Amino acid sequence: MVQKARELPAAPLPFTAIVGLEAARQALLLLAVDPKLAGVAIGAGAGTGKSALVRAFARMLAGGHEFDPTLPCQLVEMPVGVSEDRLLGGIDIEATLATGERVHRSGLLARANGGMLYVDSVNLLDDSTINHILSALDSGVVRVEREGISVVEPARFVLLVTYDPAEGPPRRHLLDRLGLIVAPIGKAPVTTRAEVVRRNLQPTTDYEDDEALVLAGILAARELLPSVTISDEQIRQLSLTALALGIEGHRADMFAVRAARAAAALAGRETVSNEDLELAVRLVMLPRATRLPDMQPQEAPPPPTPEPAPPPPSQQQDEDRSDEEEDQPPRPPDDELTVEDLILAALETEVPPDILETPFTVRRRGRSGSRGTISGQRGRHIRSVPGKPAQGRLDVIATLRAAAPWQRLRAAEHHPHRRGRIHLRADDLHIKKYRSKAGTLFCFLVDASGSMALHRMRQAKGAVNALLQQAYVHRDQVALLAFRGDRADLLLPPSQSVELAKRALDVLPTGGGTPLAAALLAAYQISEQARARGIYRTTIVLITDGRPNVPLKADPTMDKTRRLEQARQEVQQLAGRLWAAGVGAVVIDTQRSFVSRGEAQQLAAWLGGRYVYLPNGRGDQIANAVIAASEDG
């Protein structure tokens, strides 16, 4: 018998029908119970249903608005490329042209007041947009001071953000203000994937009862929440857990207390239990951890115990019941729960192995996205300024916005017979200003001379691979030069390809002199070529001991002392030229301290760059030092 094919439901999936995102669903429920948790961040790969879960959550809460008007149910979605006037608000052109007076139009932040603001791909937002969101979260208002308008609007909302971890992490300061963070979710098992397909083929009406039950639980928990209590000892345990995980600030402690109380209310309890504390640690503290404490128990020889006497028959039934529970780990009572118990219980669930690779482990890495931005005639439109069309692209909207308040006056004074037309003047014209993203060119200059050449190449290989892993997110490029003998060879032109870098680093001859001047000259030429292609920021990374001994043009009759002096002078002159051209520099000193005479440190001073002593440094350590120097510069 041939089964009839099922048709896909026209309506989107309900909140209770989405599978594979249990931790995210739990976090959203806690937020619905206590909106003072501020928001939820969900990290999951593309196509996992995180956006569908957020929208289904908003639709479910909308059904309970008539029972609880304070329930945040209005969902305002903000696109990644949102303009500043749409985000904050500005002049309503149509209304202003119609009335002849400035009419304000509210932006997305003000429209989300009392509800939820949802941002997908939050890790790709521009820094200025994130700063406006942070300001609204902190102050609860939106201030608009532009185009002759001065408006302050309320903007109290909960923030829901999702992102794909493969595209880079969100900004740390934004995540820090959200109470609940769901760690990046890995691949779903086969059973979960099959269940996703099955539920998408199932009619959505099958989940109406489940949806109503969940909503009723949220409404009941919101009524119970004010009476839920948490003991001083439990608060102390959460604070000790935050210290053990290396969490900075006090937001996590306060969010964890709120999350524990919301979890207890959702379960219908008036006191916080161990389960509630574990959930708070898992959703609030673990994603903010900068370290995991050593929780290896110290093995001690057990004390000798006498053999127990056989139990009486009356206790035999109880012992049989306890034998069935031997496989379950003992759960400590509420008054005996320790910090280690909290962390271990929170880690029992599926936690990604790279849990510590979060924005909270990065110390002030500067701007997200690209590390360099320039203004020009291409890129993202950031603002409009008064100007003439010959100076750039005309912004029609900004021009009309500037002219709109004066239309009635101009029509009455100068053109009474031309009513209904728009009257422009030269000072109304506005041109667009753009910001195009251009990353940093990291130019590695590796000293391939001497006995340490192979060690330096291993360091460079690890650092290049580490930088190329982030090349797509930050729009960076990497170039590689090796200098030995009497010349510098370009092994890898500026590229973002990991495969090309591996091929360039696999085969490299070593030995010979140290033509450091030739390497600096080649780096200067590469930086100028990159500037012509639109990369205005170059950082050279010198992995060397800093001892030049081969000049650019050596006289065969010159003795060794004069040749070394000439090589040193050429290096000093070229270093000053690179510094004057705005090229950043990082000198990685590979010389042992007991034989070093400070040559690499002197070279860093000539270049106006950073000196890093890493004789045995790994590739990731070098990459971190290079990125830090580039962003500080």
- C-beta of residue 79 within 8 angstroms of C-beta of residue 107: no
Which parts of 443-598 fold into alpha helices (H)? 453-469, 471-474, 498-506, 516-532, 560-580
Q: What pLDDT is recorded for position 497?
A: 67
Q: Which of 620, 598, 630, 578 is nearest to 460 (CA)?
A: 620
CA–CA distances in Å: residue 134 to residues 144, 253, 285, 289:
15, 20, 21, 22
What is the DSSP annotation of 333-350?
-GGG--HHHHHHHHHTS-
- C-beta of residue 163 within 8 angstroms of C-beta of residue 359: no
Residue 189 and residue 195: Cα distance in Å, rounded?
10
| Two tokens, residue 59 | 């639709």
Place of tokens 């728009």: 422
CATH superfamily of the 441-632 domain: von Willebrand factor, type A domain (3.40.50.410)
Q: What is the pLDDT of residues 71-124, one digit of tens each?
A: 888 999 999 888 888 899 887 777 777 777 778 889 999 999 999 999 998 988
Residue 366 scores a pLDDT above 70: no
Q: Which of 438, 442, 436 is nearest to 583 (CA)?
A: 442
Select which of 143, 251, 393, 487 is catalytic.
251
Within 8 A by CB and 6+ apart from 87, the residues are 78, 107, 108, 109, 129, 132
| Two tokens, residue 539 | 């950082």
Mean pLDDT throughout 302-311?
A: 50
Q: What is the pLDDT of residues 22-43, one digit of tens each?
A: 889 999 999 999 999 999 999 8
Q: What is the DSSP letter of 285?
A: I
Strand partners, 394: 431
The model scores a pTM over 0.75: no
Residue 220 scores a pLDDT above 50: yes
CB atoms within 10 A of CB 316: 11
Residue 389 and residue 606: Cα distance in Å, rounded?
45
Q: What is the pLDDT of residues 307-341, one digit of tens each?
A: 555 555 444 445 444 444 444 444 444 455 666 66
In CATH terms, are 15-207 and 441-632 the same topology? yes
Amino acid at 600: A
Least confident of 104-118, 348-362, 463-477, 540-554: 348-362
More confident residue, 601 or 301: 601
So where are the chain's domains? Answer: 15-207, 373-437, 441-632
Residue 596 banded pLDDT, cuts 50, 70, 90: low
Q: What pLDDT is recorded for position 378?
A: 58
Mean pLDDT throughout 154-174?
A: 88
**25 classed as catalytic:** no
Q: What is the pLDDT of residues 237-253, one digit of tens each?
A: 999 998 888 888 889 99
Identify the CATH assignment for 15-207 out of 3.40.50.300, 3.40.190.10, 1.10.3720.10, 3.40.50.11390: 3.40.50.300
Q: What is the pLDDT of residues 461-476, one digit of tens each?
A: 666 666 666 554 556 7
Q: What pLDDT is recorded for position 364?
A: 39
Place of tokens 């026209």: 10
Q: Cα angle vertex 526, ends 447, 612, to 5°?
A: 40
Q: What pLDDT is recorded for position 109?
A: 94
% of the chain with per-residue pLDDT over 90: 22
Strand partners, 379: none
- The continuous run of DSSP H or E covering 87 comes out as helix 84-88
Pairing type for strands 584-589 and 610-613 reads parallel
DSSP-derived 3-state class of residue 495: strand
Residue 416 scores a pLDDT above 70: no
